[in-house]
Amino acid sequence: MLRTKGVLEKRLSPNDISVQWIEFPAGPQLLEAMNVGSIDFGHVGESPPIFAQAAGASLTYVAGIASSPAGSAILIPQNSSIQKLTDLKGKKVAFQKGSSAHLLLVQALEKAGLKYTNIEPKYLAPADARAAFVKGSVDAWVIWDPFYAAAQEATKARVLIDGTGINKQGGYYLATRKFVTENPQTVKAILEEIQNLEEWSKQNREEVAKTLAPVLGIDLETMRKATNRRTFGLVPIDDNLINLQQGVADTYYKLKLIPKKVSVRDAVLTKEQYAAFSPKT
């Protein structure tokens, strides 16, 4: 929506700042680009920053994104014999490694009393995972909207479980440390425009769906479904959010999915720095 509306360009052009938009299939790829200096700012789910930090990437949490637990799910084919989470034992499950879908799967398995080692993970980007799911090469697919809504519509996939009651946080806006410390006023402008658009979107969900459907190449009914499941809004980076994110990091380390312990606070600014650019909520 931010790109489609063109509000950032209007806001930043008086300061001779141009905006270049680059799309990525998922958060891990976006943070890889950020780590090598190809982008300055972007948003991802809660898991990609943990894997990026564990790999030595330099990144900074700028703002949180409101959680949309109903916007992610574990999907199974319409005719699957799988009826409950425990039926995933020994099954092939597709998802993007290091994504929010990865965490949903880990948490859902734990809720069902299963171990991560009880399933056979298939690390696939969304497009490849969908192809494998349709072909029947995997037994389940963990995915987020709008891919989730599109799969429901096109494949008539069944929802084994969604993130309701499991997901406690949304994603994050992140930036390189250099960008955020050298350009606090630009970061403030970006966040203010994001917040303004989020507030508008809460009250104009139909317009959001109509705007995004052609941009994303998704039919309107599917986009409506994804939009109606979404919670709009920014969340400030505070101790509660940091502690939740540290819990994510500790979970991945305990499962040996990352090679070393990660301290989320290493990628956090001071309260004074956040106060300088965070919009009023």
CATH code, domain with 24:
3.40.190.10
d(CA 121, CA 83): 19
Considering the domain boundaries, does residue 281 fall inside one?
Answer: no
Give residue 127's pLDDT. Answer: 94
Give the end of a domain, one of 135, 162, 189: 162
Question: Hey, what are 271's tokens?
Answer: 């309260």
> Domain tally for the chain?
2
Judge if 246 and 175 occupy the same domain: yes
pTM, full prediction: 0.90
Verify that 173 and 150 share a domain, yes or no.
Answer: no
Domain co-membership, 48 together with 73: no
The partner residues of 170 in beta bridges, in order of sequence, read none
**Alpha-carbon gap, residue 95 to 28, rounded angstroms:** 12
Instruction: Give the whole-angstrom CA distance, residue 63 versus residue 109.
Output: 29
On whether residue 280 sits in a domain, the answer given is no
Q: Are residues 145 and 51 in the same domain?
A: no
Do residues 30 and 173 make contact, with C-beta atoms less than 8 angstroms apart?
Answer: no
How much is the pLDDT for 169? 86
Domain boundary among the residues 162, 184, 206 is at: 162
The domain of 46 spans 2-67+168-275
- If asked whether residues 180 and 261 sit together in one domain, one would say yes
- pLDDT at position 168, please? 85
Average pLDDT for runs of 10 along the chain of length 281: 91 94 93 95 95 94 96 97 97 95 96 96 96 98 96 95 92 95 95 96 96 93 96 95 96 94 96 90 64
Last residue of one domain, picked from the residues 121, 136, 162: 162
Residue showing tokens 């990144």: 59
Does residue 99 sit in the same domain as residue 51?
Answer: no
pLDDT value at position 281?
64
Q: How far is CA 214 from CA 126, 146, 153, 211, in A?
A: 19, 13, 16, 7
